[in-house]
Amino acid sequence: MVDRIFAGLLLAVTLGYGWLAFAVIRAPFQYDPLGPESWPRILSVLAAICLAGILWKPDVERFDTRGGTWLRLAAIVALLIGYAGLYEPLGFVLATLLFGTVAARLLGATLVRAGAFGLATGVLGYLLCAGLLDLNLPEGPLPRL
């Protein structure tokens, strides 16, 4: 069943993709006979055939993920989105400190240990990546190294 749902959704995306390829994408002029539109057209047809095959004969009935797990997964995704949103404004050190602490706590570490872990990844991660390897990381309000 989940196979069918997924294939159905993807088929909708593929139809949109194919519609753009067949009706919209066009070059003012081109030197090759295929142009920008032929390759996506072929791909959309291929994808549609594959998806039809899955709709016809699905093999995964349902996810074995239970209710509580879904909740936890959603929480992690929300955390990740928060981490991404705070990455530049807060800078690497603070954002990682926050994310590391909350994520470790959420996954079962004690609050103190989670905090220590967050602090360690934030500070050590920055020293290692930005200091030693000279990677480009956001500084946020903290002063430049």
Site for another protein in 31-70 (CB under 8 A): 31-36, 39-40, 43-44, 46-47, 50-51, 53-54, 59-60, 63, 65-66, 68-69
Q: Name the 3-class secondary structure at 77.
A: helix
Q: Are 4 and 52 in contact (CB under 8 A)?
A: no
Q: Name which position in 8, 19, 22, 30 contacts another protein (CB under 8 A).
A: 30
Q: How far is the CB of 80 from another protein (least distance, A)?
A: 5
CA dist 17 and 40 (Å) reads: 8
Determine whether 81 is exposed, middle or buried from the number of CB atoms within 10 Å of its CB (0-12, 13-18, 19+). exposed
Q: Where would I find the beta strands (DSSP E) of 1-145?
A: none
Which residues ranging from 62 to 121 are in contact with another protein (CB under 8 A)? 63, 65-66, 68-69, 72-73, 76-78, 80-90, 92, 96, 99-100, 103-104, 107-109, 114, 117-118, 121
Q: Name which position in 2, 111, 127, 145 contacts another protein (CB under 8 A).
A: 2
Nearer to another protein, 12 or 73 (CB): 73
CA dist 76 and 25 (Å) reads: 38
Tokens standing for residue 57:
């004969």
Q: How far is the CB of 100 from another protein (least distance, A)?
A: 5
Q: How far is the CB of 32 from another protein (least distance, A)?
A: 4
